[in-house]
Amino acid sequence: MIPPKAGIYHTTSVDVAQSNHTTLSLAGQKRTYGAFRVKESQHDAAVLVNITNTAGFQRPTVYEENNLAPAETGKVPDVIARDQSIYSHRRGLALTPTVASNPLLDLSHPAYGLPKQLVDNFASVGIKSIYPWQSECLLKSGALREKKNLVYTAPTGGGKSLVADVLMLKHVIDIPGKKAMLVLPYVALVQEKMRWLRKVVEGILKTKASSFLGEHQLSGWRKRGDEDAVRVVGFFGGSKWKATWDDMDIAVCTIEKANALVNTAIEDLSIGKLGVVVMDELHMIDDESRGYILELMATKLLSIEQEVQIIGMSATLSNAELLAKWLGNAKFYISRYRPVPVEEHLVFDNAVYAASSSSSFYKTATQPNTHSRNSSQIKPEPAKLITQSPNKELNNALINAVVALSTETARAGYGALVFCSSRLGCENDAILISRALPRAEELDPLTADKRRNILSDLRSTITGLDPILEKTIPAGVAFHHAGLTTEERDAIEIAYDEGVIKVMVATCSLAAGINLPARRVILHGACMGADLVGPSMLRQMRGRAGRKGKDEVGGTYLCCQKSDLEAVAELMEADIPVVESCLLPGKRGIKRALLEVISTKLATSRVSIDDYIRKTLLFYSIDRNELADMVLSTMQDLKETGLIEEIDELDYSATLLGQAVVASSLAPEDGLFVHRELRKALQAFVMDGEMHVLYSFPPVQAAHGNINWQIFRKEVERLDESNMRVLDFVGLKPLVINKMAQGGSIKESTAQEVEIARIYRRFYAALQLRDLCNEMPVHAVARKYDIPRGMVQNLAQTCHGFAAGMIKFCERMNWGALAAVLEHFSDRLRAGARSDLLALAKITYIKSRTARIFWENGFKTVAAVAAADVKDIIPVLLLAQPKKPRVTPEDEQKYINKLKLKAEIISQKANSLWEKEMQAELDEEE
């Protein structure tokens, strides 16, 4: 393969294997079918046979094509052996050179210039050496020594994050006063990365600058004690953390928070302190809903006079060269390397076929005859066959295959990830798979005990134990989707990562949302939701196969119906789509881009705006004349809507409204809607109730599922006079709600109808917020509105984040009184409680109903909780727990022990908060 001219192209593990005449398959590589027909020696293959568990559920099994079928073996073994033909035939394939053969694979090598403490910290989290491609990317791209911009792509699991971590930490440690920003798309990833980075930087001191220290000493200010340490701060959701660059060294942010930080830094002229920005999942730039904000942020960094090193990475980039050109002629690097080889398969009609590079190959699989007169294609032979279970639940060959492949992996002692298209599908698959695995009484005592501990953890959460998880976890199976609460997802993820849970059945959000690899990834159908999964998401899901340090090989199995075979064949052969700008005509990004640079005063003249546009990805994607016309029309639109004003023919300025829209991180269209709604509120704001304030909290694009109009009508009928006035002020009509409840449908064909529908949705969401603010538990709200608990929790978190934007909007508009009211209710939403419990709710684990029970039992202040013994806190926690089923005395004691640990954390946090309160009072007295 000829490397691209302007970048670096790493020799992949495929090339290494081919040069050694080794058969190998990797996720994302196109192959021929012949490359996969690996014949295993007879003594290595284990024959898997049907076994019926004690519940009478006969599981399907997988066996090799040329081995004896179960009926011919004459006996059934007591224990299922590991399938050596799948799991161990690659143990002799060495793809990664060692430090002994290449000293540059040791991070302590002088070429990297990393402090010993950092190298030791990396080793403590399992990174004792790096891969050749990582070394090459760091040293040959100029990103490490010369701080050049870099765009690179490597498969999921190929170690791409470590390259950015080294570059980012090296920058912060070596250059006094310089800060770093790491941008991730999801809150879960931000939280996970923040915890990981804090471990990595523990005990590391930054390089000191004598001039900086001199200033510090002369100023007379007292040092906090952590200025020389590397401080990692997370920015996500509705956090009130108002950190400045002086409070942190590495900011780990969601996309929206990162853009807001850059806007603020440009506006207050502190952007010069930012030294390096890392953008993970760079392919999300063409996501119109939110990813396009990455382009806005990066373009602003390219437009400022200060030099900021920009690093972009992704597992799914097909046009890295163009993105590198956009990012200031950055170096680009492409690696296909995976430390764990991954074999890909297609499964249909209870047969497993090796993946192929030709869609016509798959089509022959549906032909009735092996040879076709009109075709030179030969019908392929399956690599494996799957027995059909006689159980009615597994009549469908697709479901039969999913259960067989999952249970085979779990029985072999490995982890499996099953991706389903819906939440209900996840739960159904989890039940079926669990029934085909050994029950708790058939397991070794240690494994059974660990799984009981998971049930105890889940039972001790405020929402209690999900009845389906109660059935599946004893068999080592769990499901993972948006319907679960954060506490449930965290517990399940930890259990799966530790190997206690063997099979995780998840929706596609898990593929990109968190790092949980598996020995085997199984796709239950090629649709995720209502649509066929895209090539990029397919790559993300398949990329979870293969766990470094635990697996010698990974496998992916796309299970489908014969009717879907042609579409699946095209999908598996499809190239990853190119990443393009979301500022293109027909998309709304350009309006926000121009408003932000004018508001932050980064570009306020025709000349500077033109210069800014030339630095966008859009500039490389559109005809120049068309681009000029689009910019002019957008500027005219911004003027007509009152977001900017023309000072003279060549200069522009953002109006107060425009500044408020940018400060609140809203898109212009959404900001105008919010402004109209808040203006109405200022004219007649209902202060003798809660609904008017809470109506401001649901995001503009709030489409929290579908409205259950019968429930909506019932809740409206219960509204008091105060809240009925709110209904009237925001423009909702009880007659319309009644009509919808009787089977009508709300129209959304015009802009006005869309806005009206949006108001109904926001008010319906506000009803749920009202119940949460009045201490109704999440599970009770979920039951009342007939939606999953996790969706209620997610609504609260999303609205809390949006409320923070609304507060900033009001502050910038000089609506201080309204901002104060919004902030108060934002605190109540975060606490899930009434006003009298806000102080208590700052304590970890004390929220909503739990806070009320503490209050009712005499713990009305943080000081009271801090002064209490742990043994006095446990009975209160017991009162706050949901009703639980009868359990054994042993499990009951474990349950109490869990609550004791919670009580200890509550006591520690209460003491910490109380000490801060006392210190604040002392500071005020001084």
- Summarize pLDDT for 171-187 with one digit per residue, the tens: 999 998 999 999 999 88
Q: Which of 786, 812, 832 is the last residue of a domain?
A: 832
φ, ψ of residue 557 to 5 degrees: the values are -135, 110
CATH of the domain at 554: 3.40.50.300
- The answer on 750 and 698 residing in a single domain is yes
| pLDDT tens figures, 408-445 | 999 998 999 999 988 899 999 999 999 999 988 888 88
Nearest to 129 by CA among 105, 109, 113, 110: 105
pLDDT for 847: 85
- The answer on 847 and 757 residing in a single domain is no
Task: Please give the single-letter amino acid code of residue 857.
Answer: N
- The answer on 608 and 556 residing in a single domain is no
- The answer on 776 and 757 residing in a single domain is yes
In a domain, residue 738? The reply is yes
- The answer on 327 and 246 residing in a single domain is yes
- The answer on 390 and 268 residing in a single domain is no
DSSP state of 379: P
Contacts of 231-234 with C-beta under 8 Å, sequence gap 24+, read: 232/194, 232/197, 232/198, 232/201, 233/194, 234/190, 234/191, 234/194
In a domain, residue 24? The reply is no
CATH of the domain at 634: 1.10.10.10
DSSP state of 421: S
Band of pLDDT at residue 240, cut at 50, 70 and 90? low
| pLDDT above 80: residue 225 | no
- The answer on 821 and 919 residing in a single domain is no
In a domain, residue 214? The reply is no
pLDDT for 211: 37
Band of pLDDT at residue 903, cut at 50, 70 and 90? very high
In a domain, residue 40? The reply is no
| pLDDT above 80: residue 703 | no
State how many domains the chain has.
Answer: 5
In a domain, residue 699? The reply is yes
| pLDDT above 90: residue 279 | yes
Segment 886-913 shows an average pLDDT of 84
State how far the Cα of 199 lies from the Cα of 213, in Å rounded to an integer: 27
- The answer on 234 and 267 residing in a single domain is yes
Q: Which of 832, 849, 883 is the last residue of a domain?
A: 832
Lowest mean pLDDT among 56-60, 564-568, 639-643, 692-696: 56-60
| pLDDT above 80: residue 371 | no
* C-alpha radius of gyration, the chain, whole number: 29
| pLDDT above 50: residue 77 | no
Segment 777-802 shows an average pLDDT of 91
| pLDDT above 80: residue 29 | no
Distances (CA, A) of 863 to 794, 867, 915: 31, 6, 9
**Residue 767 belongs to domain spanning:** 664-832
CATH of the domain at 728: 1.10.3380.20
Distances (CA, A) of 231 to 113, 196, 269: 20, 13, 22
In a domain, residue 659? The reply is no
pLDDT for 378: 63
Task: Please give the single-letter amino acid code of residue 76.
Answer: V
Nearest to 484 by CA among 420, 416, 427: 427
Band of pLDDT at residue 221, cut at 50, 70 and 90? very low
- Quick check: 395 and 58 in contact, CB under 8 A? no
In a domain, residue 46? The reply is no
| pLDDT above 50: residue 44 | no
Q: C-alpha angle 131/136/142, rounded to 5°? A: 140
| pLDDT tens figures, 575-626 | 788 888 988 887 778 999 999 999 999 999 999 999 999 999 999 989 999 9
State how far the Cα of 1 lies from the Cα of 832, in Å rounded to an integer: 59
pLDDT for 37: 30
| pLDDT above 80: residue 7 | no
Segment 523-537 shows an average pLDDT of 80
Band of pLDDT at residue 89, cut at 50, 70 and 90? very low
- The answer on 840 and 825 residing in a single domain is no
State how far the Cα of 297 lies from the Cα of 597, in Å rounded to an integer: 10
- Greatest alpha-carbon pair distance for the chain in Å reads 96
| pLDDT above 80: residue 798 | yes
In a domain, residue 434? The reply is yes
pLDDT for 85: 34
- The answer on 896 and 870 residing in a single domain is yes
Lowest mean pLDDT among 79-88, 109-118, 347-356: 79-88
Cβ contacts of residue 350 below 8 Å, gap of 6+? 60, 385, 386, 387, 388, 397, 400, 401
Q: C-alpha angle 662/302/596, rounded to 5°? A: 10
- DSSP 3-state of 152: strand
Band of pLDDT at residue 486, cut at 50, 70 and 90? confident
Band of pLDDT at residue 17, cut at 50, 70 and 90? very low
| pLDDT above 70: residue 32 | no
Lowest mean pLDDT among 155-159, 467-471, 778-782, 792-796: 155-159
- The answer on 453 and 526 residing in a single domain is yes
Nearest to 613 by CA among 626, 269, 777: 626
Q: How crowded is residue 627: how many other Cβ atoms within 10 Å of its Cβ?
A: 21
